[in-house]
Homo-oligomer: A and B are copies of this chain.
Amino acid sequence: MNKKYVYAFTEGDGRDKRLLGGKGANLCEMTQIGLNVPPGFVITTEACLEYLEKKTIPDGILDEVRDHIGRLEEKTGKRFGGEDNPLLVSVRSGSAMSMPGMMDTILNLGLNRKTLRGLIRQTANERFGYDAFRRFIQLFGKIALGVSDALFDEAFEDVKRAAGVKADIALSAEHLKEISERFLKIVQDATGRPFPEDTFEQLEIAIKAVFGSWMGKRAVDYRREFHITPDMANGTAVNVVTMVFGNMGNDCATGVGFTRNPATGENEMFGEYLVNAQGEDVVAGIRTPKPVHEMKQEMPELYSQLVDLRDKLEGHYREVQDYEYTIEKSVLYCLQTRNGKMNATAMVRTSVEMYDEGLIGKAQALLRVNPSHLEQLLHPCLDPSHMEKPIAQGLPASPGAASGRCVFDADQAEIQGRAGEKVILVREETKPEDIHGFFAAQGVLTSRGGKTSHAAVVARGMGKACVAGAEGIRVDSRARLARVGEVTLREGDVITIDGSTGNVYLGEIPTIAPKFSDELKTLLSWADEAARLKVLANADTPESAAVAMEHGAMGIGLCRTERMFNASERLPLVVEMILAHDTEERQAALDKLLPIQREDFKQLLKIVAPRPVTIRLLDPPMHEFLPSENQLLDEIESLKEYRLAVKGRSTALSALNAPYAANDLSEDLVNSVIAKKEQMLRKVRELHEVNPMLGHRGVRLGITYPEIYEMQIRAILEATAQCLKEGVPVNPEIMVPQVITAQELKHVKASVDKIRREIETEFGLELAFKFGSMVETVRACTRAQDLARIAEFFSFGTNDLTQATFSFSREDAENKFLPLYTEYGILQDNPFEVLDIKGVGALMQMTVEWGRKTNPQLEVGICGEQGGHPTSIRFCHSIGLDYVSCSPHRVPIARLAAAHAQLLENR
C-alpha cells in the first residue's frame, strides 16, 4: 500500500481533522477557499503513530517531506538552506483536539550561519537577523533538542547585565550576535554536538520532536485530565509553513482583525495593525498599533485586499471571524482565522444581521448564541475595566451589580429609599418582616445563609442583586455597623455588591445598565417559533408579573401565595390566624385576609390575562411567619428590664410624693405587650420542628386546617368571577403543594368543587380553571398514575425534589459539604443549580411516563429554580415536558434554551 503521509495545503481535506489535526485541516481549508495563506504542508497523524511504533521516521515519509520542501521552493522562489533568498519555515504540532499550550512553535527553521547572511542582506537589518537567529536557536534547542531553557535565559541576562541594558529592545545587533554565539555554544555543550547547520537535519529533528511530544508526560497528563480518548484524537500532525515577515520594510505590516465589531456587533471593519513589524511587537506593547481604518489612507490597496479577505472569510465560514495577517512586501498573507469571541450584545446583533444578510438561517442564528450569555443583557454588571479588589466574598445569590449606602435594617432602608437614596440592605440574615426593606434597597448583602436563604430567594424573585452568606462580614445590627477584617462599615458608607460573582467592594464602582435591544426581541421571537417547550415565569407580585410579561413569559407557572402573606401590612393578620385558639378565631382572621388575597389575585390575573396564572396554595410551615424563639426571648427580656425601670421610676416618684407622679409610662401597656410576646413564644415552641423542610407544611396544613385553603380557594375563584364579570378573560390554575398521595388531592378537590358551585351560583356564570399538583416529593413521583387521575397538570418542584432525592438540606449542604463534593468530583455540579439528571431526572422521566398512562392530556411543567438553566431545559424538553417556569429575569434565557433544545433534537 502506498500511503500518502504529507499533504500540501492545496491538497488536504479541510474536514479531516483526525488525519491532519485541527490546525492542519484549517490551513488546508483556508488555502483552498482562496485565502492567501503562506504555502506549507501537513505531515499526518498516521505518520506520527508510525514513528511512535517504529521509533524512527520511515524513509518514505522523509522523501515526501523533501518533495514538498521542493514544491515550496518552487512556489516562493526561495531556497531551503540557500544564501540568496533563504526559505525559512515554522514547525508546529496540531492534533484533532485542541490541546492549548502543549508545545511551542519553532520559528525561523532553516536559519544557519549561511542563510542568516542572506536574511540580513535581504532585510538590510542586521539586528533583525540576529534577533531571528537567537530566537531560533533557543526554541530549537529547547523544543527539539531538550536543552534546559534556563541556560539560555541566564546567558541572555548576562549579556544584558554586561551591556547595562534593562529592556530587550535596547540590545544592539552586536549584543544579539554575541547572544547567538553563546546560544550555539550552550547547545554544543549540552548535546555534545555542534548546532545542526544542515537545514534538512534541522527539519528532521524538529519533526521527530513534535511526534515524540505526543507521548510526553505533559500531553499524556493533559489527555487524562480532559478525558481525551484515542477515538477523539490519536497522534499529532506536523505543520510546516513558510515564514513570512511583516518587518522587512515599510511595504510590510502585521495585524489582527474581527470581521465585525465584537463589542457592539456592528458590521464594520474592526482591528489594528503595525507597519514594518512582527506579530510579537504588538504583544510586547512597545509600539501602539493603529486602528484598521487608518490603513485606508496609509495603504489603500492593501486595505481593499483586507476588505476582500473579510468578505471571503464570512462568506465561507458564515460566522464572525477573528483573523491574523501579515503583509510581506505588499503581499497580504492570512495566517490564521477562527470564530470570533464576542460579548452577548454583539452575538445577538450579529445573529439578527447575518440572518438579514442571508448569511445564516434562523436555526443557526439561534444556536450560535449561548443562552446563559444573555444573563449579561438582563442585569446591570460592573464595568469590566474597574480594578478594585473585593473586601469580602459571599455566594452569588442573585445576579446583577448594585451600589448604595449601607443600612442595617429594613426600616432604615425604607426611610432612606423614600428619600431617594440608593441603599444596600446589610443583615446577618433576612426574615419575612424585612420585605419592605427589599423593595427599597438596590441590593441585599447577608453574612449567613445559602442560595436558598430567604434573602436569596426574595432577591431573585425581585431581580435585585444579592450576595448571601458572606461569612467574612460580621454584622452588628444594634451597633449599626459591620466589620470585615480591618474595615468597619458604618451606616451610610457606600459599598458595591456583585451578585453575579459574590464580590463585595468598598465605594461605588460604575455599572453598565442592561439592554433589552430590538435585536434581542427579534431573536427571542424566533426562539418562540422554534421551541416546543413553553416558558412561564415564577412571580408573586403584580410588579414581578409585569416584568415577566415584558420578558416574554407565556404565563405565570408559579405564584407563591405566602409571599403575599409576608407583606408588612398583612403579616399581623397572618400572625393573628396562627395564634388563634380555635377554628372560630382562625376563621375570623381568615375572613380579614380573604378580601386582601382576592385583590392580589385580581391584579395578577388581569396583568397576565389571557395567559394562565398558576397559584400554589399555602406551602411553608406556620412558624415561618413568626419571629424566632431567640428573638422573642430577647424582646421579652428587654421589655422586662424596661418594666423594672418604669417601676423603679414610679416608686421613686411616689417616694418623693411628687405631684406629677408620672403615668407617662404605662406599666399596663408594657405588661400587655409582654403577655402578647409570651403567647407568641409559646406558639413558636409548640410549632417548633426538628426538620422543618420535612414538616407540617403544604397540603398537610391544608388538611389539618382546611379553613386556610378554603379561604385561598375562595379568594382565587371570587377574583376570577369578578374579572370575568368585568370582561377580562382570566385563566387561573390552582396548584396543591407537597402532595404524597391522591387522597390529599381528592380532599382539596372536594373543597374546590364546593366553593366553585357556590360562586357559580352567586355570580351566575361558569368558572373554567385547572386543578393540579406539585410533584416535589418522591412519593408523588411513585404515585403519578394515581395523582394524574385527579390532577390536570403536574408541576415539578425540583428544589424540594432534589432535597428529598439526595437527602440534602440545601441550606446545610451548600454551607457545609457540597463545595468539597464538587471539588473532589463526587458530584459534577451543584444539583440545586443544575438539574441532577441521573437521580432527580430519572424520577421525573418516570413520573411523566406513568402520569400520562392514566391521563394522556396531563400537562407537565417544572417550576424549580433549575427550570431556568439551559442544560436542565434541554432535559425537560427531552422527557416531554410542556413548560418550564423560572424567575422573570431568566425568561429570555429559558426561551432561547427551549429553542436550542428543539433545534438540537432536530439535528
Could you tell me which A residues sit within 8 Å of B by CB distance?
Answer: 689-696, 700, 703-704, 738, 740-741, 743-744, 747, 776-779, 782-783, 800, 803-809, 811-813, 816-817, 820-821, 824-827, 836, 838-840, 842-843
Contact = CB atoms under 8 A, between A and B. Distances in A.
A824 B703 contact: yes
Contacts of A782: 805, 838-839, 842-843
Contact of A827 (B741, B806, B816): B741
Given A703-B821, A826-B741, A809 B779 contact: no
Q: Considering the complex of A and B, which 7 residue pairs feature the smallest CB-CB distances, nearest first?
A: A691-B809, A694-B809, A779-B839, A743-B826, A777-B807, A695-B812, A691-B693
Contacts of A692: 690-691, 809, 812
Contact of A693 (B690, B800, B825): B690
7 contacts: A694-B803, A696-B813, A703-B820, A703-B824, A776-B807, A779-B807, A783-B839
A812 B689 contact: yes
Interface centre among A744, A808, A812 (most CB of B within 10 A): A812
A809 B777 CA distance: 13
Contact of A747 (B696, B812, B824): B824
Nearest to A744: B826
Q: Is the interface of A mostly helix, strand, loop or mixed?
A: helix
Given A691-B809, A694-B694, A743-B825, 6 more contacts: A694-B809, A703-B821, A747-B824, A779-B806, A782-B838, A782-B839
A778 B847 CA distance: 14
A693 B696 contact: no
A836 B820 CA distance: 35
A743 B821 CA distance: 10
A839 B740 contact: yes
Number of copies: 2
Contacts of A809: 689-695
A747 B804 contact: no
B800 A807 contact: yes
Contact of A694 (B747, B783, B808, B825): B808
Contacts of A800: 807
A740 B807 contact: yes
B807 A807 contact: no
Contacts of A783: 838-839
A740, A782, A807, A827, most chain B CB atoms within 10 A:
A807
A123 to B, nearest CB: 60
Nearest to A695: B812
B778 A812 contact: no
A448 B51 CA distance: 78
Most central of A696, A743, A779 by chain B CB within 10 Å: A779
A796 to B, nearest CB: 14
A448 B603 CA distance: 46
A840 B811 CA distance: 26
B805 A779 contact: yes
B803 A777 contact: no
Contacts of A779: 805-807, 836, 839-840
A826 B694 contact: no
B807 A696 contact: no
Nearest to A700: B817
A800 B691 CA distance: 13
A471 to B, nearest CB: 11
Contacts of A817: 696, 700, 703-704
A229 to B, nearest CB: 20
A700 B824 CA distance: 12
A690 B449 CA distance: 10
A805 B824 contact: no
Given A691-B812, A820-B704, A839-B782, A805 B807 contact: no
A740 B824 CA distance: 15
A776 B778 CA distance: 13
A681 B779 CA distance: 38
A740 B689 CA distance: 25
A738 B805 CA distance: 11
